Amino acid sequence: MQLLKDLRSIGISLHLITNLILALSFFILKTTKPICTYLFEDCYLELREWELLTFLGCIIVIKNRKQSTYIDYLETACLFAKVLNGYMYYRTNVIVSVIYGLLCLFHMIFLPKPGYKGPEFITYFRESNLQEELERDKRIVWVVCFYAAWSPQCVNFAPIFSEISSEYHLDNLRFGKIDISRYPEAGKHFNVDSSSWSKQLPSVILFKDGKEDHRKPFISPKGTVVRHKFHKVRLVIISSNKYPFPPPITPLCNFLAKKGIE
């Protein structure tokens, strides 16, 4: 297990380093002598290029407001930077732009962002069978993730939730997911907004005795959503003092805290 974690950490480092190099490549090559003299007509950034870089900075700030970790922030920033690089390479040297595109393609294929690839113990619910399952056996505590397939925050959270389900599922502690973009009525029933401007995606709800016991993001008494970022220690949905689970419930608490489900 530790070896897998070490390999994943190395993979993330290699992925990020090469991604940053690709994202910064145009600025570095255009301003570094003697490389710039071979690839471009001059060795300084034109006014138009400065304008594009400034525009890129504004886009990155706007698009990254909801990112939960610095890795997700860098991923989004590098994505927009590579798109802009491709355009600026094309304006100056078509051959270089083709080579750059191939390098980005190779990076995506051979150095993808590492993530959890192990097994998961998750029940995927449809519109009505979630409520039926909650009522069928009230001795089971359910941790259910309400998500939308189009939401980047849900996509980023998915491997964390899968890893939790694999490590800590029990006979009386189970994990489930439901796509409320496909089943919006389920979202309405459990008061989770599935619209494109929703601040509730993803939502993790703990059901005990067939009823909701806790959720994140939290909904205040005034009906407003208290925004929550699913990363380090913010959402305690399980407590060994509150729920009399057998081992490994205590390490689960620590794991959830470390992973961002407090």
Q: Alpha-carbon dihedral of residues 115, 119, 122, 127, nearest 10 degrees?
A: 70
Protein fold of 122-259? Glutaredoxin (3.40.30)
State pTM to two decimals. 0.64
Choose among 233, 236, 260: nearest CA to 249: 236
Q: What is the mean pLDDT of the chain?
A: 79
What pLDDT sits at residue 65? 66
The shares of helix, strand and coil residues in the chain, as percent rounded to the nearest 5, are 50, 15, 35
Burial of 170 from C-beta contacts in 10 A (0-12 / 13-18 / 19+): middle
What confidence tens digit (pLDDT) does each residue in 51-105 have? 998 988 888 777 666 666 677 788 888 999 999 999 999 998 899 999 999 999 9
Residue 22, pLDDT > 90, answer yes
Query: What average pLDDT does this structure show over 3-15?
Result: 57
Q: Break the chain into its structural domains and give their ranges.
A: 2-110, 122-259
What pLDDT sits at residue 9? 54
What confidence tens digit (pLDDT) does each residue in 199-254 have? 888 899 989 888 988 888 877 676 666 666 664 333 334 433 444 444 444 444 44
SS3 (DSSP) at 252: helix
What pLDDT sits at residue 240? 38
Highest mean pLDDT among 34-48, 95-109, 141-155, 243-257: 95-109
| Angstrom distances, CA of residue 81 to CA of 9, 54, 89, 177 | 24, 11, 12, 34
262 vs 115, more confident: 115
Choose among 178, 159, 160, 166: nearest CA to 235: 160
